[in-house]
Structure 1
Amino acid sequence: MIIWCALILTVLTFLSWLVLPNKVLRILCGTITMVLLVISAVTISANIYGHWGMKKTTTTTAAKEIYSAGDSSSPANMLITQELGTKSDDYVLVYRDNKDAKEAKAHGTPDEKNITESVKKTVAYKTADVDTASVKTEKTYWKWKNDTFKFFFNLGDNNNELISQKTTVTVPKDTWAVLTADQAKELAKQQKANPVPAAQQQQQQQQMKEAVTAAVGAYMQQNPTATQADIQKFTQKETAKIAVTSINSMLKK
């Protein structure tokens, strides 16, 4: 609408200065229409470059559980990271969206066909004292302050224009191993180059079983009213903790 107003004011300004025969009326009408034309041009520029008449609106999705990027049969959970740039706190993260997914997927890969939108989006991760890994996304948009601004300045796709999008993955600090892409490759290389003998595997499994059994026993003594589901959950957690500790030890070698 503001564009049509500007066009009409342009015509009226032209007619006021060049067509009206009365000098006083010409100056009066010409000045008024010119001032209004300048105001309309300024407001258009303010809206386009400064989002005048708009407000920031933020929405946050509910946290959604995610799953390990590693072998689904492994008790250790893995999140694989690849930072974009240096100290950018923006990553490509690899994990499974669903428990039954056959393969893990990369999340946060920039869309090279739409760089303008890609630079507004960031993906980060953090470790916390939580039981499950999850992802949530916070989006901030430009929206009209009211219908009046929308009526005059709705020039295109400026409503709901994305300002920023931040996706945050949160993983349990004890039961998930966070590896860079290079570390994941090195780990796979070590396991392939130095396969563990069957006898040693059995010994390691027995040691893990004994450690988990001891931890479960202590847990049951401290929580005599624990249900079978509680005990099973604790057992899985302790098994994952030991497996993650083993992975971290291998990475330090």
Structure 2
Amino acid sequence: MIIFILLLSVVGFAFTFVLAKKSWQTGFGIVCGGIFLLSLVLVTANFVSHFGMKKVVETESIELVSSADGLDVLLYKPLGDGSEKVYLYQTPKSEEPTPTETDHVTNKVTEGTSPELVTETSYWDYKNDFYKLFFGIVNNNHEFIEAENTFNVPASWEVLSVDQMKEFGQLAKERQASFKEKAQKEIQTKLMAAIQKDPTLATDEAKKQTLIEQWTAELQAKMMQDLLNEVK
């Protein structure tokens, strides 16, 4: 509506003030000129200061899954000097990690009970239908302002850069054989010590298998943590 008022006021000013022959035409032209200036001020205020609008915040929460196979991890890519980061997150429905946006978007990572991404997005919306009708022709309703991403991840998760994750994978591959050999020796030592402590264990295959699986998992977890400490 404001654009139509601007156009009509210009036309009215041109035909009544510029070409005026009577005093009422001059007066009407001055009124049209005043309406034009006022409309121009309002349009400027709408563009610059979002006159007639209010800030609204929409919150969305989505479940996260690990951004890499074999390890609970949230990946990121550092930008510039590393003070800014683009996070690569994945949801149960996505096949590939999704990067966070960079324009007017901030990211932070906090410790949570379950992995999730909480996004708070701010917009400019018109205060009511009157302002929407008045300025709506400029098509700036629900204008994006900024967004804040909060990654809530459990303490058991790791937050690694893409380069760190790549280095971790390379080290794990290189040391797989030596780890397997070392693990077998340690498990054999543990098993012998357990049998000395409880001789009945020597004939209890089910219990021995349970212990071997337990020790293997513990050694794998320790190896992974050692590798993580090395690349971080």
Whether TM exceeds 0.5 here: the answer is yes
Deviations along 1:90-121, one digit per CA (max 9) or x if unpaired, are 4232x4311x87x551322x5xxxxxxx5133
Q: Does residue 96 in structure 1 map to residue 90 in structure 2?
A: yes
Distance verdict in 2 for CA 1:205–1:35, change over 3 Å: farther
State the match for 2:109 in structure 1.
126
Distance verdict in 2 for CA 1:176–1:45, change over 3 Å: same
State the match for 2:64 in structure 1.
66
- Cα distance in structure 2, aligned partners of 1:30 and 1:203: 99
Instruction: Within 5 Å, give how 1:1-253 maps onto structure 2.
Output: 1-23=1-23, 25-62=24-61, 64-71=62-69, 74=70, 76-93=71-88, 95-98=89-92, 104-108=96-100, 110=101, 119-122=103-106, 124-128=107-111, 130-173=112-155, 175-197=156-178, 198-202=180-184, 245-251=225-231
Distance verdict in 2 for CA 1:204–1:86, change over 3 Å: farther
Deviations along 1:142-171, one digit per CA (max 9) or x if unpaired, are 100111111111124300111112222121
The CA deviation at 1:18 is 3.5
- Cα distance in structure 1, aligned partners of 2:16 and 2:99: 60
TM-score, L = length of structure 1? 0.69
Query: Tell me, which stretches of 5 or more residues in structure 1 are unaligned?
Result: 111-117, 208-234
Aligned residue pairs total 204
The CA deviation at 1:243 is 6.8
The CA deviation at 1:40 is 0.7
- Cα distance in structure 2, aligned partners of 1:11 and 1:87: 56
Structure number with greater CO (CA < 8 Å, separation at least 6) is 1
Question: What amino acid is the match of 1:135?
Answer: L
Name which one, 1 or 2, has greater alpha-carbon Rg: 2
Question: What amino acid is the match of 1:190?
Answer: L
Question: Once superposed, what is the RMSD of the aligned Cα atoms?
Answer: 3.0
- Cα distance in structure 2, aligned partners of 1:206 and 1:54: 72
State the match for 2:206 in structure 1.
none
TM-score, L = length of structure 2? 0.75
The CA deviation at 1:141 is 0.6
Question: What amino acid is the match of 1:107?
Answer: P
- Cα distance in structure 1, aligned partners of 2:222 and 2:113: 15
Conserved? CA contact 1:177–1:247, under 8 Å: no
Deviations along 1:51-98, one digit per CA (max 9) or x if unpaired, are 211111001113x22112232xx4x412221122335444232x4311
Question: What amino acid is the match of 1:85?
Answer: G
Distance verdict in 2 for CA 1:205–1:53, change over 3 Å: farther
Q: Which has the higher helix share?
A: 2
List structure 1 segments (4+ residues) > 4 angstroms apart after TM superposition: 203-207, 238-244
SS of the equivalent of 2:137 reads coil
Distance verdict in 2 for CA 1:33–1:120, change over 3 Å: same
- Cα distance in structure 2, aligned partners of 1:51 and 1:21: 41
